[in-house]
């Protein structure tokens, strides 16, 4: 087993957590009715997110990660399980989270600046103040000089950065990122991962990133959860104790990757017999 | 740039060539003026009777404008109502669509009977014709909002009011303009038919009278003015669309 080769310096099976985590998800289950059958999508999913922690969830496609996010966002309600926010049970964390997905969902009639402030605007910020704040962030997001452009005038990577800016400007302490760079080419994706780390370092939110990309999880996360195929549950956890920036070719990273791939491979085999 | 220039020059050149052919054949075949006047003769009349034509054109333009505005306001209101309620949609939409099987020209005499010989009946006539494409396109546009975007707004805890004004309305705008463009193109027909059936002024009225007096060059001059009105209105709509929907034309 590569697991034994990893060594204690690289990871501990359970986290380094000190104190209570910001967000705890405990035994979340969800099923949908499909005709007479009941399709089980989530089965007792539990995970913790510490304050300012970067969490990645990887799993086979169609395993129910989006259902999980939709429950957190309060778009659907779970059959069983609890969501605890700072030890308080809550129905959802919509008021504390900002959400970003693969599709940038920029409004084609708004320019960069106005797309970035959509969240603030909806939450009642004054448009002019919001624009002013957004303008100050343009440089960090590499969008300086593009504030008046419409989405169709921007490249895929830029559009994702505008979406990321909109997400950050919501000023929530938990970011849910649902395969945010899944639609980008490999080069752009790797640049965007750098951006994300930079922005995470600067603004310090807790991040919950769903991805198919094992490398992405390894490069970015403090802790990685591996999900099983449907019905999804947490199959394994990997605590990353490496500093950043990380190199995917480093020896520890390679053994971590082997471990994750082995966990995933069994799942893909289960999913597609 | 060069291609754009060609795009303007070529149709104009063709028009000039066609005009010259027309002028030449009128002289060559000795066609009498009361059958088909040459373009030069028509231009001459347009210059000489400028006041007369401008007066009647203004009447027709007012009819079109009022009818168009009425159709736009009522059409947008009805489209929003239809969009906001399933019951209203089921009640109204089939009726609106099937009402299009009634030939509007056939009810023109009734409109004259009800709204008189003045501009009222022409305004109504125009409004009826313009109304349909605006309602149908606006309803479609309001429905066109992307479900993922709506979910995003929900996560942002937007009010229904915010969703309507920040997403649905801008999303519907290009559709509304499609409807308005079709509406503008047919609006001239409404006013002219109304004037043919019964009127004391307007370009349609002028044409009928000139035709009866074998002043065919005046008929042609009126037609020219009518298409000028149509093109002018269409141009205004295109400019408004560019200003209000600057994001259109992506991809």
| Residue A173, token pair as written in the block | 């302490």
Total domains present in chain B = 1
**Domain assignment of residue B111, yes or no:** yes
Find the CATH number of the domain harbouring B231: 1.10.3720.10
Q: What is the mean pLDDT of residues B165-188?
A: 93
Q: Could you report the predicted ipTM of this complex, rounded to two decimals?
A: 0.79
Cα-Cα end-to-end distance for chain B: 20
pLDDT of residue A242: 82
pLDDT of residue A11: 41
Chain B neighbors of A97, CB-CB under 8 A: 155
The top-scoring range by mean pLDDT among A9-13, A57-61, B230-234 is B230-234
Residue A3: pLDDT over 50: no
Report angle CA A230, A232, A235 to the nearest 5 degrees. Answer: 120
Query: A91, A116, A118: which to substitute to probe chain B, counting the most B Cβ within 10 Å?
Result: A118
Nearest to A225 by CA among A5, A8, A13: A13
Residue A2: pLDDT over 50: no
Length of chain B: 251
pLDDT of residue B246: 83
Look up the domain containing B188 and give its range.
Answer: 38-244
**How far apart are the C-alpha atoms of B151 and B158, rounded to whole Å?**
10
**Domain assignment of residue B162, yes or no:** yes
**How far apart are the C-alpha atoms of A3 and B21, rounded to whole Å?**
90
How many angstroms separate the CA of residue A27 from the nearest CA in chain B? 23
Residue A1: pLDDT over 70: no
pLDDT of residue A17: 45
Contact B250 A152 (CB under 8 A): yes
**Domain assignment of residue B28, yes or no:** no
Residue A125: pLDDT over 90: no
Contact A109 B247 (CB under 8 A): yes
What architecture (CATH level 2) is domain A17-216+232-238?
A: 3-Layer(aba) Sandwich (3.40)
Mean pLDDT of chain A: 84
Element (H or E) spanning B228, and its range? helix B216-244
pTM of the model: 0.80
**Residues of chain A contacting B, Cβ within 8 Å:** 73-75, 94-95, 97, 99, 101, 103, 105, 107-109, 118-119, 121-123, 150-152, 170
**How far apart are the C-alpha atoms of B133 and A107, rounded to whole Å?**
26
**HEC-encoded secondary structure of chain A:** CHHHHCCCCCCCCCCCCCCCCCEEEEEEEEEEEECCEEEEEEEEEEEEECCCCEEEEECCCCCCHHHHHHHHCCCCCCCEEEEEECCEEECCCHHHEEEEECCCCCCCCCCHHHHHCHHHHHCCCCHHHHHHHHHHHCCCCCCCCCCCCCHHHCCHHHHHHHHHHHHHHCCCCEEEEECCCCCCCHHHHHHHHHHHHHHHHHHCCEEEEEECCHHHHHHHCCEEEEECCCCECEEEEEECCCCCCCCCCCHHHHHHHHHHHHHHHHHHHHHCC
Report angle CA A170, A198, A85 to the nearest 5 degrees. Answer: 45
**Domain assignment of residue B109, yes or no:** yes
Poorest-pLDDT segment among A204-213, A242-251, B45-54, B100-109 = A242-251
Residue B246 burial (CB < 10 Å; 0-12/13-18/19+)? Answer: exposed
Poorest-pLDDT segment among A91-100, A141-150, A263-272, B235-244 = A263-272
pLDDT of residue B62: 96
CB nearest A122 (choices: B149, B153, B246)? B153
Confidence bin at A270 (pLDDT 50/70/90): low
Query: B141, B156, B243: which to substitute to probe chain A, counting the most A Cβ within 10 Å?
Result: B156
Residue of chain A minimizing CA distance to B251: A152
**Domain assignment of residue B8, yes or no:** no
pLDDT of residue A9: 34
How many angstroms separate the CA of residue A94 from the nearest CA in chain B? 6
Residues of A181-192 as b/e, b for ≥16 C-beta within 10 angstroms? bbebeeebbeeb
Confidence bin at A59 (pLDDT 50/70/90): confident
Confidence bin at B26 (pLDDT 50/70/90): very high
Report angle CA A41, A43, A44 to the nearest 5 degrees. Answer: 145
**Domain assignment of residue B198, yes or no:** yes
**How far apart are the C-alpha atoms of B138 and B121, rounded to whole Å?**
26
Q: What is the mean pLDDT of residues A220-247?
A: 86
- pLDDT tens per residue, range B107-163: 999 999 999 999 999 999 999 999 999 999 999 999 998 998 998 998 888 999 999
Residue of chain A minimizing CA distance to B244: A109
pLDDT of residue A199: 86
Chain B neighbors of A123, CB-CB under 8 A: 156-157
**Domain assignment of residue B249, yes or no:** no
- pLDDT tens per residue, range A154-174: 998 899 999 989 998 888 889
CB nearest B148 (choices: A95, A105, A122)? A105
Q: What is the mean pLDDT of residues A28-34?
A: 87
Confidence bin at A272 (pLDDT 50/70/90): low
**Domain assignment of residue B185, yes or no:** yes
């Amino acid at each position: 087993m590569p697991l034994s080769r990893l060594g204690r310096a690289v990871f501990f099976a359970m986290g380094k957590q000190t104190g209570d985590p910001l967000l705890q998800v405990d035994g979340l289950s969800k099923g949908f009715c499909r005709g007479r059958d009941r399709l089980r999508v989530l089965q007792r999913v539990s995970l913790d997110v510490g304050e300012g922690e970067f969490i990645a969830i990887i799993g086979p496609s169609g395993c129910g990660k989006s259902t999980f996010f939709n429950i957190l966002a309060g778009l659907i309600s779970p059959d069983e399980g609890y969501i605890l926010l700072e030890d308080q049970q809550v129905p959802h964390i919509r008021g504390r989270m900002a959400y970003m997905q693969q599709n940038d969902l920029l409004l084609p009639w708004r320019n960069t600046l106005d797309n970035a402030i959509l969240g603030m605007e909806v939450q009642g910020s004054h448009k002019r103040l919001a624009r002013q704040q957004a303008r100050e962030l343009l440089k960090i997001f590499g969008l300086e000089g593009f504030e008046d452009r419409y989405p169709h005038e921007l490249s895929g990577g830029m559009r994702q950065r505008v979406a990321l800016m909109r997400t950050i400007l919501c000023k929530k302490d938990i970011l849910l990122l649902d395969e945010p760079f899944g639609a980008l080419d490999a080069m752009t994706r790797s640049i965007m991962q750098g951006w994300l780390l930079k922005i995470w370092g600067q603004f310090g939110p807790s991040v919950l990133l769903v991805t198919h990309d094992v490398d992405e999880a390894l490069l970015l996360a403090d802790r990685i959860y591996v999900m099983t195929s449907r019905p999804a549950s947490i199959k394994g956890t990997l605590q990353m104790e490496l500093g950043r920036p990380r190199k995917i070719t480093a020896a520890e990273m390679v053994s971590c990757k082997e471990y994750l791939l082995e966990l995933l491979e069994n799942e893909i085999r289960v999913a597609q017999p | 740039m060069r291609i754009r220039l060609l795009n303007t020059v070529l149709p104009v050149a063709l028009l000039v060539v066609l005009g010259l052919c027309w002028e030449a054949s009128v002289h060559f075949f000795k066609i009498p003026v009361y059958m088909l006047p040459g373009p030069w003769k028509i231009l001459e009349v347009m210059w000489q009777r400028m006041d007369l034509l401008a007066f009647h054109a203004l009447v027709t333009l007012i009819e079109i404008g009022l009818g168009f505005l009425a159709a736009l306001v009522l059409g947008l209101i009805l489209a929003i109502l239809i969009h906001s309620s399933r019951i209203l949609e089921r009640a109204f939409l089939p009726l609106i669509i099937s009402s299009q099987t009634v030939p509007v020209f056939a009810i023109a005499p009734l409109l004259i009977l009800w709204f008189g010989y003045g501009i009222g009946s022409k305004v109504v006539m125009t409004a009826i014709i313009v109304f349909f494409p605006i309602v149908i396109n606006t309803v479609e546009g309001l429905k066109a909002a992307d479900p993922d975007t709506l979910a995003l707004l929900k996560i942002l805890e937007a009010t229904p009011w915010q969703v309507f004004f920040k997403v649905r309305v801008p999303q519907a705008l290009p559709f509304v303009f499609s409807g308005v463009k079709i509406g503008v193109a047919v609006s001239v027909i409404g006013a002219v038919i109304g004037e043919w059936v019964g009127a004391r002024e307007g370009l349609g009225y002028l044409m009928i009278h000139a035709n009866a007096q074998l002043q065919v060059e005046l008929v042609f001059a009126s037609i020219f003015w009518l298409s000028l009105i149509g093109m002018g209105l269409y141009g205004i709509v295109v400019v408004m669309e560019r200003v209000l929907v600057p994001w259109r034309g992506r991809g």
